[in-house]
Structure 1
Amino acid sequence: MQIKCLNDLQEKAKQLDATDDLAHKLHEFELPKQQIYLDGNSLGPLTKAAKARAKEVVEQQWGADLIESWNKHKWIGLPKTIGNKIANLIGAEENTVVCADSISVNLFKVLSAALLIQEQGLKQETQQTPPIQNKRTIILSQADNFPSDIYMAQGLSNLLGENRCKLHTVSSKDIEHELQENGDKIAVVMLTHVNFKNGDISDMQAITQLAHQKGALIIWDLAHSAGVLPLELQHCEVDFAVGCTYKYLNGGPGAPAFVYVAKKLQKAIQQPLSGWMGHKQAFAFLHDYEAADGPEQMLSGTPPILSMSILDASLGAFEGINIHQIRHKSIALNGFFQECVEHLMIDDLFELACHPSANLRGSQISYTHPYAYAICQALIAHNVVPDFRAPNILRLGFSPLFLTYEQVFNAARILADLVNKQEYKNSMYQQMKEVT
């Protein structure tokens, strides 16, 4: 019975691979042979184009052309060039996104700018909202938001004082209720679109609309959404967004993040890290700061050219396809893994920590288990790479551009084998590493 089940699942995987309209993208990535990489939701793999660009930038652009490359190879324009490429992936207008710094730094910028807008009583011209009152001091967020986002809001509150900025967190399911009940006190709503632990997706359009009805501005963190979920920032009238580029955008470890500012707010904002690259005339070297007109005003220091150039090349993997194709395969991979786990009869050994439907979660599946960390390490030893999130979550990511259905089947098969044998109880898998 077990052998028949395995054969049937493997045959289904082969059939799905044979009709995969993204299969041609697999060859654009460099991955270790025999490895099944289910951690693209944490660090996307190297693309062949990125590898070639890295060599070119180091040897030719930096090595031979030196400082001329700022103009010759358009280094100076990379933050905006990359920003516009990302804008196409997140449903944003041209010249609303710029690539810079990290999510945390960008979040500090837009939180500060949003609070200042509220303090100054500026009203968005394109929306019918109640008058903005100076008493708005609250940043509303999810209690289970990514910790760094929470820390940045806490740090800003410590800097400004709670009379100007106070973080308030509630359960994700209570965000809309909190807006309904206390919306007149909320200055900014700061939410992550896809929960990093369980993959649950928030309703961007409904929550953004409600925030605006209550006179609040909204910031979305797109770390686990950009490049794998259809997003419509312009259509949803989102005010600000931030996101990283080293997950589904495959920009490389520590790749610079991006920040989105709606056009309607670009003339109203003042961000606190007013560095020279955000100046209207950066190379005039004027004494006083004057912000650039567009999203470039969110820049601060000199852009990190090596990592930006690599990211620019990596984004080429999205050429010739659309985000709806990616989402379709994401759901299919996700659901197929869940189907394999159920048919291999190990689903009762785990507790599903996410929405039961692949249609209603991001490009990942999460399970809780008392030995989640050890299972993760055992899988890695068997060339299946997921990741672990404290305290007890085994998280598996499904990146549609480089994963096959047969790999997903094999990952489930290997998982079933090691949990049935309780191999994870070996002490070698239970010693915590510095990075989990």
Structure 2
Amino acid sequence: MTAGTETITLADAERLDREDPLAGFRDRFLPIEDPGVVAYLDGNSLGRPPAATLDRLRELVTREWGTGMIRSWDRGWLELPERLGDRLGAVCLGAGPGQVIVADSTTVCLYKALRAAVALRPGRTELVTDTDNFPTDRYVVAAIARELGLTVRWIESDPRAGVTAEQLAEVVGEDTAVVTLSHVSYRSAYIADMAGINELVHAAGALAVWDLCHSVGAMPVLLDAAGTDFAVGCTYKFLNAGPGAPAFFYARAEHHDRFDQPIAGWIGARDIFAMAPRFEPADGIRRVLSGTPPVLGLVGVEQGVEMLAEAGIERVRAKSTALTRMAIELSERWLAPLGFTVASPRADEVRGGHVTVTHPKAESLARAWIDNGVIIDFRTPDGIRIGLSPLSTGFAELWRAMDRARGVAA
């Protein structure tokens, strides 16, 4: 982006926008009507709304719900969780048909996945995760351990990095039932070695459950090729599906005839309209479902996945890498002299879709940045996350935001 040791200029950033093959996608999002916003750099927490989603919701409410009414369940609504799951698996998860379904929240999906995985390893007594995993993951692991009388083996992970295979090798063994980790660290954006960790987990006879919340939609994920057993992830970050949009659940095909999830409900039954006296799970991935599919939320997932399919996950990853690289360079040039430290990996191949900078006064600085139109988020104790959502974020937008941020911090 720059020659020699020169700092990136606004002209450089504007040239990158002109050369960006994904630049046109920025116009597909609803405009930000707040004139005080310089840049929205929090798409790694909540993606912006695509204009197509508004149109699709209007169509759903007026035609499918308003006119079709209950008949619409037989005109495609009931198939949405599986159809969108297959599409998501093909577009960015590296998952073959029939292994992904859009279901509940991430927390509920994770609970189901962990309980299902533990049940597939009877007699084993330990769950493994890390101390800096996302709070939901840690809380669910601890709750399941209490419910089932299991022991949690905690890996002391570095908040500025993530869990490595070497660290994992020290704790997995014959008592390990399940290892659950985040593919991309929510703090540092460090990308874990999914394939290498899966191989180590399987060598110990255990199963792997992955949280993909900070990787899905920002980078290719190769679930089948990596040998992953189960995975879950949200759709409201880089997939732009909307606040509280339903999450997805992946189960490797080889487990389908043996796994049971713990929240039995009529939509996950073999024959949902038989109203049978006892629950019989559906064949395949549909057994993951419990209650009535959230159609309004599924529409948001649909639009987000189709936009990503058109953009292409490899091109999205390339732009994500360029944006995060630029954010790191500007942080080192402009923010480091003000007491900031880059707390994300410098190497492109192990860095996800956001950059974290730390500062002793990060919490107050984060509020000041937001008050001055740079929308980011704070993560305790000292981190500010700069989220770079490739489809909605431009290079000049990022440059102006970093320029404003250094001015506020000075």
Q: Which residue of 2 aligns with 1:192?
A: 182
8 A Cα contact 1:31 1:45, kept in partner: no
Matches of residues 122-271 of structure 1 in structure 2 within 5 Å?
Answer: 134=123, 136-161=124-149, 165-172=150-157, 173=163, 176-180=166-170, 182-271=172-261
- Tell me the SS of whatever aligns to 1:167: strand
- Tell me the SS of whatever aligns to 1:140: strand
Q: Which residue of 1 aligns with 2:346?
A: 356
Letter in 1 for 2:136: S
- Tell me the SS of whatever aligns to 2:52: helix
Larger Rg: 1
Considering only aligned residues, what root-mean-square deviation do their CA atoms show, in Å?
A: 1.8
**Following TM superposition, by how much is the alpha carbon of 1:93 offset from its aligned partner in structure 2, in angstroms?**
0.7
CA distance in 2: counterparts of 1:327 and 1:231, whole angstroms:
11
More deviation in 76-85 or 339-348? Answer: 339-348
CA deviation map 1:1-35 (0-9, x unaligned): xxxx9996111101111111111211111131553
CA distance in 1: counterparts of 2:295 and 2:212, whole angstroms:
23
Letter in 1 for 2:284: G
- Tell me the SS of whatever aligns to 1:344: helix
CA deviation map 1:205-227 (0-9, x unaligned): 10001111111100000000000
**Following TM superposition, by how much is the alpha carbon of 1:174 offset from its aligned partner in structure 2, in angstroms?**
5.9
- Tell me the SS of whatever aligns to 1:379: helix
CA distance in 1: counterparts of 2:156 and 2:7, whole angstroms:
43
Q: Which residue of 2 aligns with 1:81?
A: 83
Which of 368, 393, 398 is the equivalent residue of 1:378? 368
**Following TM superposition, by how much is the alpha carbon of 1:180 offset from its aligned partner in structure 2, in angstroms?**
4.9
- Tell me the SS of whatever aligns to 1:168: strand
CA distance in 2: counterparts of 1:65 and 1:178, whole angstroms:
53
Give ranges in structure 1 of 5+ residues lacking alignment. Answer: 120-133, 421-436
- Tell me the SS of whatever aligns to 2:173: helix
8 A Cα contact 2:172 2:201, kept in partner: no
Closer/same/farther in 2, CA of residues 75 and 181 from structure 1, 3 Å limit: closer
- Tell me the SS of whatever aligns to 1:319: helix
8 A Cα contact 2:7 2:330, kept in partner: no
Structure 1 runs (4+) deviating above 6 angstroms are none
Closer/same/farther in 2, CA of residues 174 and 404 from structure 1, 3 Å limit: closer
2:300 matches 1:298: no
CA distance in 2: counterparts of 1:353 and 1:181, whole angstroms:
26
CA deviation map 1:24-78 (0-9, x unaligned): 2111111315531100000011001111111112222222221011123x11111
**Following TM superposition, by how much is the alpha carbon of 1:108 offset from its aligned partner in structure 2, in angstroms?**
1.1
CA distance in 1: counterparts of 2:143 and 2:8, whole angstroms:
54
Q: Which residue of 2 aligns with 1:424?
A: none
8 A Cα contact 1:388 1:394, kept in partner: yes
Matches of residues 325-344 of structure 1 in structure 2 within 5 Å?
Answer: 325-344=315-334
CA distance in 2: counterparts of 1:139 and 1:156, whole angstroms:
9
2:43 matches 1:40: yes
8 A Cα contact 2:164 2:193, kept in partner: no
**Following TM superposition, by how much is the alpha carbon of 1:182 offset from its aligned partner in structure 2, in angstroms?**
3.9
TM-score (norm 2): 0.93
- Report % sequence identity: 36
8 A Cα contact 1:91 1:233, kept in partner: yes
Q: Which residue of 1 aligns with 2:67?
A: 64
CA distance in 1: counterparts of 2:73 and 2:6, whole angstroms:
56
CA distance in 2: counterparts of 1:211 and 1:187, whole angstroms:
9
CA distance in 2: counterparts of 1:179 and 1:186, whole angstroms:
11
CA deviation map 1:172-197 (0-9, x unaligned): 34654443554211110000011111
Closer/same/farther in 2, CA of residues 75 and 240 from structure 1, 3 Å limit: same
CA deviation map 1:380-413 (0-9, x unaligned): 2222111011121111100000111000110110
Letter in 2 for 1:414: R
8 A Cα contact 1:219 1:241, kept in partner: yes
- Tell me the SS of whatever aligns to 1:282: coil
CA distance in 2: counterparts of 1:198 and 1:61, whole angstroms:
43
CA distance in 2: counterparts of 1:336 and 1:197, whole angstroms:
18
2:83 matches 1:112: no
Closer/same/farther in 2, CA of residues 67 and 382 from structure 1, 3 Å limit: same
Q: Which residue of 1 aligns with 2:160?
A: none
Closer/same/farther in 2, CA of residues 71 and 392 from structure 1, 3 Å limit: same
**Following TM superposition, by how much is the alpha carbon of 1:346 offset from its aligned partner in structure 2, in angstroms?**
4.0
8 A Cα contact 2:179 2:207, kept in partner: yes
Q: Which residue of 2 aligns with 1:95?
A: 98
CA distance in 2: counterparts of 1:294 and 1:117, whole angstroms:
16
TM-score (norm 1): 0.87
Which of 38, 53, 57 is the equivalent residue of 1:54? 57
Aligned residues: 397
